[in-house]
């Protein structure tokens, strides 16, 4: 009789041991923790460190920004800014943590702090520790890579997760550009590596143990930390009600904003096998959908959004602006691409693009796997195809080839760090001047991110090797525009009303098509004359 894959024969052995990490120069060991106890709570309430502030407690303002160092895939230290307010402190296991209070002394400031002082980058100072740490992470990245110049755009990007309500950003950006130079200051990569090795986790699944009490506002539960895929699968089977957490950028808000109890947390951030990005020679589902042999990138469930987008950017050059608008740098440094897909939000930024490309999810349960097109994974709002004991091991992103033009557009009230009102992604293959294959994914238009099948049909045969104005006014383009306008029945909500969403989605489709036209026009909002229904 086949064994039930949801019931492992051998439950995984869980070692109870402290969380181990470095705070500044101090080695810290913590045990008996609530699973959602955050880095910020630990810093301010336990460690007596007030150099990280609490503003929004949801990853939006950057007041809590700290720097975390670990080793990249090549074994080199990498320093990243993250939001301490939503990150479980247990996820620091094996890492180095630094706050603005750890990088300099009052009489010997760090170059980032000096630059902020000399360029008048602070007034009330509430945002300043977070801004300093976002800049510090960039400084360290440049220092360790021996890469000195910080351009204005680099600085703007690094500060995408930091709000300042009183200084104004010009002096802060000036400081960012002044902080690097020939007098780099900091620990050598070898010294960092040595410290990281001292706190490196072993191969055994572990937990810091359940809190005995004394953590106000925290419900009971354990932080379960598998180290291998097999351990994860077994823990998932033996703890089917556990909450899978990777970057905690969504789940963290359930705790800080909704005061929800998570129960046991199954943290996948330490599962080595899930941190990989692999190229697969043939993606069967995408090959079948596009009628040609296609490779794909398989992105593991512990790969951060930042790493995933970096790997995807060379293949999707026209989508780089879209990637940059996925939250802020600190959020992208914690959030995972798979987490964004698993979350199933109808306004998630990843799913529309994956759907347009014909992407899929790899579902794992006790050593058995099945692969589903992403469109089949979502059943409805907050409903998906996961079975008991199953989890998403990876997503597959098809690489469609140079003859397929891929674009993704996002409309939101803020450029950075905002949720989409509407997102549209298109993959259009052109032969002899006409669209012969189309993939269109949308967000914000239905209860789940969706494939626009009728619009894809309407695009087939559309002649695009004509001047932009001719394309815009062609009957075929108008038919495709109307198909997109009419295909969904979106909601009215605070971000946009239904009429706006319909028209915006159709105009974004037009924008994608205009990229293919001769003499393609500039495509900034306001420079396109939109079609009216
Ligand atoms: Fe606002 Fe953490 S307190 S991002
Ligand atoms: Fe006051 Fe930035 S200095 S919020």
Residue 207: in which H helix or E strand, if any? strand 206-207
Distance of alpha carbon 336 from alpha carbon 269, whole angstroms: 9
Distances (CA, A) of 463 to 456, 480, 483, 486: 14, 12, 17, 22
Q: What is the pLDDT of residue 255?
A: 84
> What was the pLDDT predicted at 6?
46
Q: What is the pLDDT of residue 186?
A: 92
Residue with CA closest to ligand 2 atom 2: 164
Tell me the CB-side half-sphere exposure of residue 288, using CA atoms within 13 A.
Answer: 6
Q: How far apart are CA 163 and CA 521, in angstroms?
A: 34
Q: Say yes or no to pLDDT of 215 above 90.
A: no
Q: What is the mean pLDDT of residues 439-465?
A: 96
Higher per-residue confidence, 306 vs 181? 306
Q: Which of 127, 132, 134, 175 to mutate to test the pocket of ligand 2 (most atoms within 8 A of CB)?
A: 127
Answer left, alpha or beta for residue 56, where phi above 0 means left and psi between -120 and 50 means alpha.
alpha
- Residue whose CA is closest, atom 1 of ligand 2? 124
Torsion of CA 127, 128, 133, 138, to 10 degrees: 100
Q: Whose CA is nearest to atom 4 of ligand 1?
A: 59
With a 6 Å cutoff on the Cβ, whether 116 touches ligand 2 is no
The per-residue pLDDT for range 73-124, each reduced to its tens digit, is 889 999 999 999 999 999 999 999 999 999 988 889 999 999 999 999 999 9
Q: How far apart are CA 331 and CA 324, in angstroms?
A: 12
| E strand intervals along 246-337 | 265-267, 277-280, 296-300
Give the predicted TM-score (pTM) of the model. Answer: 0.92
Ligand 2 centroid–CA 80 distance in Å is: 22
Measured in Å, residue 102 CA sits from the centre of ligand 2 at 20
Shortest-distance atom of ligand 1 to CA 53: 3
CB 82 near ligand 1, within 6 Å: no
CA-CA distance, 348 to 377, in Å (whole number)?
14
For residue 478, give the H/E element and its range: helix 475-487
The pLDDT assigned to 261 comes to: 83
Q: What is the mean pLDDT of residues 442-454?
A: 95
Residue (of 358, 424, 438, 345) closest to 384 by Cα position: 345
Whole-angstrom Cα distance, residue 517 to residue 510? 11
User: Which numbered atom of ligand 1 lies nearest the CA of 54?
Assistant: 3
pLDDT given at position 256: 87
Q: Do the beta carbons of residue 507 and residue 530 sit within 8 Å? A: yes
Structure tokens given for 462:
């559309």
What pLDDT is stored for residue 316 in this prediction? 95
Supply the mean pLDDT for the chain: 92
Q: Is 185's pLDDT higher than 90?
A: no
Residue 500 pLDDT > 70: yes
Rounded to the nearest whole angstrom, what is the distance from the C-alpha of residue 61 to the centroid of ligand 2?
A: 11
Q: How much is the pLDDT for 498? A: 96
Locate the ligand 1 atom nearest the alpha carbon of residue 330 and give its number.
Answer: 4
Helix or strand or coil: residue 364? strand
Give the pLDDT band (50/70/90) at residue 322: very high
**Residue 95 CB coordination number (10 Å):** 20
Q: Among 78, 73, 68, 75, which Cα is nearest to 144's? A: 78
Average pLDDT over residues 424-449: 96
Lowest mean pLDDT among 149-153, 155-159, 249-253, 403-407: 249-253
At 336 the three-state DSSP class reads strand
pLDDT tens-digit series, residues 412-434:
988 877 888 999 999 999 999 99
CA 1 → CA 4, 53, 282, 329, 338, distances in Å? 9, 57, 33, 50, 34
Query: Smallest Cα–Cα separation from 439: which of 342, 304, 450?
Result: 450
127 lines ligand 2 (CB under 6 A): yes
Kindly state if the Cβ of 61 falls inside 6 Å of ligand 1.
Answer: yes
Q: How large a percentage of the chain has pLDDT more than 70? A: 95
Q: How confident is the model at residue 8 (pLDDT cuts 50, 70, 90)?
A: low
Interval 457-473 mean pLDDT: 94
pLDDT tens digits, 323-342? 988 899 999 999 999 999 99
Q: What is the pLDDT of residue 1?
A: 35
pLDDT tens digits, 252-296: 888 888 888 888 999 999 998 899 999 999 999 999 999 999 999
| CA pair distance 344, 341, nearest whole angstrom | 6
Query: Is 504 in contact with 423 (CB distance < 8 Å)?
Result: no
**Residue 379 alpha carbon to ligand 2 centre in Å:** 44
Positive or negative: CA dihedral 302, 307, 311, 317 = positive
Residue 124 near ligand 2, beta carbon < 6 Å: yes
Closest ligand to residue 166's CA: 2
Count CB neighbours of 50 within 10 A: 12
Closest CA to 462 of 487, 440, 429, 423: 429
Predicted confidence at residue 250, as pLDDT, reads: 86
**Measured distance CA(87)–CA(85) in Å, rounded:** 6
Give CA–CA dist 313/311, Å, rounded. Answer: 6
Query: Which residue among 128, 169, 171 is best mutated to probe the pocket of ligand 2, counting the most ligand atoms within 8 A of its Cβ?
Result: 128
- Residue-wise pLDDT for 17-40, tens only, equals 999 999 999 999 999 999 999 999
Measure Cα distances from 340 to 117, 345, 346 in Å: 38, 8, 11
Position 230 pLDDT exceeds 90: yes
Task: List 88's β-bridge partners, or say none.
Answer: 38
* Residue partners of 85: CB distance under 8 A and separation at least 6: 38, 39, 40, 54, 56, 57, 58, 59, 64, 252, 256
- Res 356 pLDDT > 90: yes
Atom in ligand 2 nearest the alpha carbon of residue 125: 3
Check if 159 has its Cβ closer than 6 Å to any atom of ligand 2. no
Q: How far is the CA of 54 from the centre of ligand 2 (A)?
A: 13
| SS3 (DSSP) at 123 | coil
Q: Is the distance from the beta carbon of residue 165 to the nearest atom of ligand 2 less than 6 Å?
A: yes
DSSP 422-465: EEEEEEEEEETTEEEEEEEEEESSSSS-EE-HHHHHHHTT-B-S
- Contact predicate 500/485, CB 8 Å: no
- Ligand 2 atom having least distance to the Cα of 123: 3
Q: What tokens were used for 17?
A: 């041991």
Look at strands 391-398 and 360-365 and give their pairing. antiparallel
Long-range own/partner contacts, residues 511-515 (CB < 8 A, 24 or more apart): 511/407, 511/409, 512/405, 512/407, 512/409, 512/424, 512/426, 512/428, 513/426, 513/428, 513/459, 513/462, 513/464, 513/471, 513/477, 513/480, 514/468, 514/471, 514/472, 515/318, 515/405, 515/407
């Amino acid at each position: 009789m086949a064994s039930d894959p949801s019931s492992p024969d051998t439950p995984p052995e869980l070692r109870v041991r402290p969380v181990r990490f470095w705070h500044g120069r101090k080695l810290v060991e913590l045990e008996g923790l609530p699973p959602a106890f955050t880095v910020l709570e630990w810093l301010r309430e336990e460690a007596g460190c007030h150099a990280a502030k609490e503003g929004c407690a949801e990853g939006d303002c950057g007041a809590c920004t700290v720097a975390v160092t670990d080793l990249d895939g090549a074994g080199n230290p990498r320093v990243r800014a993250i939001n301490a307010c939503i990150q479980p402190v247990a996820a620091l296991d094996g890492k180095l943590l630094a706050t603005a209070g750890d990088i300099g002394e009052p009489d010997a400031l760090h170059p980032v702090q000096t630059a902020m002082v000399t360029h008048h980058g602070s007034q009330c100072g509430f945002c300043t520790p977070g801004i300093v740490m976002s800049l510090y992470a960039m400084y360290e990245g440049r220092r360790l890579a021996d890469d000195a110049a910080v351009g204005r755009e680099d600085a703007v990007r690094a500060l995408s997760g930091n709000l300042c309500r009183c200084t104004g950003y010009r002096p802060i950006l000036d400081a960012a550009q002044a902080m690097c130079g020939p007098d780099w200051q900091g620990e050598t990569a070898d010294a960092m590596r040595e410290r990281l090795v001292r706190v490196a986790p072993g191969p055994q699944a572990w937990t810091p143990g359940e809190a005995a009490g004394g953590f106000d506002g925290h419900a009971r539960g354990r932080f379960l930390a598998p180290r291998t895929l097999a351990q994860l699968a077994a823990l998932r089977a033996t703890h089917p009600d556990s909450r899978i957490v990777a970057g905690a950028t969504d789940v963290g808000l359930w705790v800080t904003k909704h005061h929800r109890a998570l129960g046991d947390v199954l943290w996948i951030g330490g599962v080595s096998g899930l941190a990989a990005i692999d190229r697969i020679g043939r993606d069967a589902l995408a090959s079948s959908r596009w009628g040609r042999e296609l490779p794909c990138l398989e992105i593991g469930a512990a790969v951060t959004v930042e790493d995933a987008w970096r790997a995807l950017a060379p293949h999707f050059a026209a989508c780089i602006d879209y990637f940059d608008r996925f939250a802020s740098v600190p959020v992208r440094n914690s959030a995972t691409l798979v987490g964004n897909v698993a979350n199933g939000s109808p306004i998630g930024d990843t799913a529309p693009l994956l759907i347009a490309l014909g992407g899929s999810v790899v579902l794992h349960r006790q050593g058995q796997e099945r692969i589903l097109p992403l469109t089949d994974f979502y059943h409805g709002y907050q409903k998906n195809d996961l079975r008991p004991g199953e989890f998403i091991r990876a997503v597959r992103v098809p690489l469609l080839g140079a003859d397929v033009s891929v674009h993704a557009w996002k409309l939101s009230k803020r450029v950075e760090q905002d949720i989409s009102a509407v997102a549209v992604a298109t993959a259009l293959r052109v032969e002899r001047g006409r669209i012969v294959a189309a993939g269109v994914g949308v967000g914000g238009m239905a209860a789940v991110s969706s494939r626009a099948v009728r619009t894809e049909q309407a695009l087939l045969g559309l002649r695009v090797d004509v001047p932009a104005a001719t394309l815009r006014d062609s009957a075929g383009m108008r038919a495709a525009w109307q198909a997109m306008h009419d295909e969904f029945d979106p909601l009215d909500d605070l971000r946009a009303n239904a009429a706006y969403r319909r028209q915006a989605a159709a105009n974004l489709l037009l924008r994608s098509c205009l990229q293919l036209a001769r003499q393609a026009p500039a495509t900034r909002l306001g420079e396109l004359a939109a079609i009216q229904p």
